[in-house]
Structure 1
Amino acid sequence: MLPGTLKRLVASRLLGWEIHPTAHLGRSLVMVDRLVMGPHASIGPGNTIRHLSELRMGEGATISSRNWIVGVPKGAPVYPKHPHRDPSLVMDDFALITVGHNIDVTDRVTLGKQAAVAGFGSQILTHNLNLVTDLFQPGKVTIGDYGVLMSGCTMQNNTAIPNRSVVSAGSVVVTKLKDELTLYRGNPAEAVRTLPETLKFFHRQGRQQQVEEQMTEWANGA
């Protein structure tokens, strides 16, 4: 509830967090061991982010609003055979998590440069129950550079989206997808067609620049 400048001061002095002077920390519950926010990184209102070893956000990385991002602390007795799991969320420059997503950070979740968990209501899971051993198993999830997970998708643990690829709305990712420049769809998600390398999304440099370009195009056409 503190003003932005005072909030950054308290967070850096009392908690040891690293928050760039241009970063924005909105009215959200953030309970993590370590927080690093680069230039113009942003956490919007209404998010719950807790029990993470680290939340690291590169330049312009954004967590919008009403997201549930929860980990399991290191040393928790539920994972005695996995002492090296990493309950952290790492977002590279201009990576984006939009609105209303549920992200389990039992193990590491990585979003590459310009990667996006887009739309609404997707789930990212970094653990499952092994029915043979009756034990929970963690596993990392990765979305590569310029990779996109659309609305209402599920990514299971030990899965990945390759660079410059898109998973269509409502799909379920159960493996490490491998082909770049590909649209994936279905349950389980499978390649349905190749995407052109010329898509503007795959060449964006930063969302602020994109907004300015769109405003210029609109003004010129008005």
Structure 2
Amino acid sequence: MKFIAALTLFLPSFLKVLVLRHIFKMRIGRGVRIGFSVVVPKGGQIGDRARIGHFNLIAGMQELTLGEDIIIGHFNIVLGGSKVTLGDGAMIGRFNEINSILNPLVRGAPVPELKLGRRAIITAWHKIDFTDKVELGENVVFAGRLSNVWTHNRQDVAPVCIGDRCYVGSGIQMVPGSRLGADCVIGLGSIITKQFDQERVLIAGVPAKVVKDLDEKALKLVSYAARPDLDGYGDLTGEVEV
């Protein structure tokens, strides 16, 4: 199967869809476009109007579920795990390395799953390890570049969760077991070493701590649509509903 998938790299999109549908037995929606990429899950489905760009390697997961209108850009690696799920309208930009360690020697019982909620976005040049579960909530923007999420520390593993509508700045680090509440802004270069249950706050520093509550201006930015091309461009000047 892997050999067949590799041979499909330079096939036009409509032939690649036929291979996934009839040889890999995936459910493929209407209007799906796949560029010069290798897509080799062991099963799953791709929703209507999903777009996968060029030179991506998406392989090794037991189940791949891509919702409607998702976008995977160019030069991304998504490898391994039991389940990879992108909700409707989620997006992975370019040059991201997202993987689960194959056959890890760890204590406990990790759940190697990656879940991006509806309209969640991962921009570019990030590293995400989902040897244990990593979840990004709805409308999360994992912004900028060069951030890292880790779920393992030698033999110890723990999940990582980012709450709905968080805006995560460039160059942050998240350690195993860390968590962010909903509607938070994470400052550039922050190191998240624990669980934050607070919502609507600015979190920043090394190690990170709660700096202040978000004011109305910041809340407007957090609540703004992550995919305005799908949900409308809205108004950045009006009042925020609380």
Q: Over aligned residues, Cα RMSD in angstroms?
A: 2.0
Runs of 4+ in structure 1 deviating by more than 2 angstroms, as ranges, are 1-13, 203-207, 209-214
Contact 1:8–1:19 (8 Å) recurs in 2: no
Q: Deviations over 1:161-191 (max 9, x none)?
A: 1100011010000001121000011011111
Verify: 1:7 aligned to 2:28, yes or no. Answer: no
Supply the distance in 2 between the matched residues of 1:9 and 1:85 (Cα, whole angstroms): 34
Q: Which residue of 2 aligns with 1:78?
A: 105
TM-score (normalizing by structure 1): 0.85
Q: Which residue of 1 aligns with 2:202?
A: 183
Unaligned runs of 5+ in 2: 1-8, 25-41, 238-242
Q: Which residue of 2 aligns with 1:202?
A: 223
Whose relative contact order is higher, 1 or 2, with alpha carbons under 8 Å and at least 6 apart? 1
Cα 1:164/1:212, change in 2 over 3 Å: closer
Q: Which moved more, 1:7-16 or 1:178-187?
A: 7-16
Contact 1:19–1:36 (8 Å) recurs in 2: yes
Q: Which residue of 2 aligns with 1:133?
A: none
Verify: 1:145 aligned to 2:164, yes or no. Answer: yes
Q: Report the identity percentage.
A: 30
Supply the distance in 2 between the matched residues of 1:104 and 1:205 (Cα, whole angstroms): 23
The one-letter amino acid paired with 1:59 is D
Q: Deviations over 1:26-54 (max 9, x none)?
A: 22000122111111011111001111221
Q: Which residue of 1 aligns with 2:45?
A: 18
Supply the distance in 2 between the matched residues of 1:180 and 1:38 (Cα, whole angstroms): 27
Unaligned runs of 5+ in 1: 130-135, 218-222
Supply the distance in 2 between the matched residues of 1:170 and 1:150 (Cα, whole angstroms): 7
Q: Say which SS state the counterpart of residue 158 (structure 1) adopts.
A: coil
Higher strand share: 1
Choose from 159, 169, 180 the match for 1:161: 180
